[in-house]
Structure 1
Amino acid sequence: MNIVKTKNVDFPSIFDELFQTDWFGGTANATTAKGNIPAVNIKETENDFVLEVAAPGKAKEDFILSLDHDVLTISTEEKKDETKKEDNYTRREFSFSSFKRSFKLPQSVSKKEINATYTNGILLVALPKREEDKVKPKRTIEIS
């Protein structure tokens, strides 16, 4: 009886490499696999909450921020359509990308004072706290 030794093949790594490769240049990343949803950091300070949305390559005009009751929605939609005609060929390329993120705001946010800025690929949304909800410094109470 002949015993044939076989080498174990790691199929998951082969398939992972196949499906994680972007055949049109570069390597697929988490945002591509999740439908272009950008990463968001949420930071709380004494006076406000700050949302940091990583969305490089966008312009501030690309963003739509809307507030519906206690839900803040950040979205963007981009369409590109390019046609080039040279000699005996025509090339047409088009793309579409969009994302939408929604956040339920706490009652402590002053909804009238929400503001946003976009710089160097980062959208910062400041959600100021209502005055009565800000952390008050410790104080001494006089006894009369």
Structure 2
Amino acid sequence: MEKRSFFERLTGSVRVENADAPNRASPAPKEHVLPHDEEGQLTIDVWQTPDEIILQAIVGGVKLDDLDVQVTHDMVTIRGKRERQHEVSANNYFYQELYWGAFSRSILLPQEVDADEAEATMKNGLLTIRFPKLDKARVAKLKVKNE
């Protein structure tokens, strides 16, 4: 098996060459599947507002039951799997760039967040997670009770 490029490993895409193209002596494309211990990496955008950190990822084709999001005060891990609806012979592909199978992504958040108040939604294949920022400068005043 030919070594995959950095881009192919990063995105999970597979290079498929057209066997009918002129001046090509390569064999018909083989079906490429990541080994069971290797997962595709989810691409994300992360930005902030004054009150929260927002993460977005494209997860089109992933069922909600196949998506797992875990949050701590400084890290988020997203895992899932995207399954094919039907199998296609490798010889019938012109382009094969979509990633099918398990994927995951863990990132350290740039600031501590309130994991209990984080919210995740998915609309039209776009996963959006909103993390309320913890305000370390906020001071809570406690009233002392007499017993």
Shorter-chain TM-score bucket reads 0.5 to 0.7
- Structure 2: give runs of 5+ residues left out of the alignment: 1-13, 19-32, 87-99, 139-147
Q: Which protein is richer in strand relative to its size?
A: 1
Q: CA deviation at 1:72?
A: 1.5
Quick one: structure 1 residues 41 and 107, their matched pair in 2 at CA, closer, same or farther if it must change by over 3 Å?
closer
1:75 aligns with 2:79: yes
Matches of 1:22 and 1:48 in 2, distance apart?
A: 45
Matched, 1:20 2:15: yes
Displacement of 1:62 in angstroms is: 1.5
Q: 1:42 deviation in Å?
A: 0.5
1:80 Cα deviation after fit: 6.5
Please point out which of 115, 118, 125 is paired with 2:119: 115
Instruction: Confirm or deny that 1:61 pairs with 2:61.
Output: no
CA RMSD in angstroms, aligned pairs only:
3.5
Separation in 1, partners of 2:73, 2:136: 20
- Once residues 101 and 54 of structure 2 are traced to their aligned partners in structure 1, the CA distance between those partners, rounded to angstroms, is 25
More helix by percentage: 1
TM-score (norm 1): 0.52
Cα offsets for 1:102-137 (capped at 9, x unmatched): 012344311211110011011101111124569xxx
Matched, 1:97 2:97: no
Query: Is this contact kept in 2: 1:108–1:133, CA < 8 A?
Result: no
Aligned residues: 96
- The Cα of 1:81 is off from its aligned counterpart by 9.5
CA distance in 2, matches of 1:126, 1:20: 35
If asked which structure has higher relative contact order (CA below 8 Å, sep 6+), I would say 2
Distance in 1 of aligned mates of 2:121 and 2:85: 28
* SS of 1:56 mapped into structure 2: coil
Residue 41 of structure 2 aligns to a residue whose secondary structure is: coil
Q: TM-score, with normalisation over the residues of structure 2? A: 0.52
Distance 2:43 2:62 in 1: 14
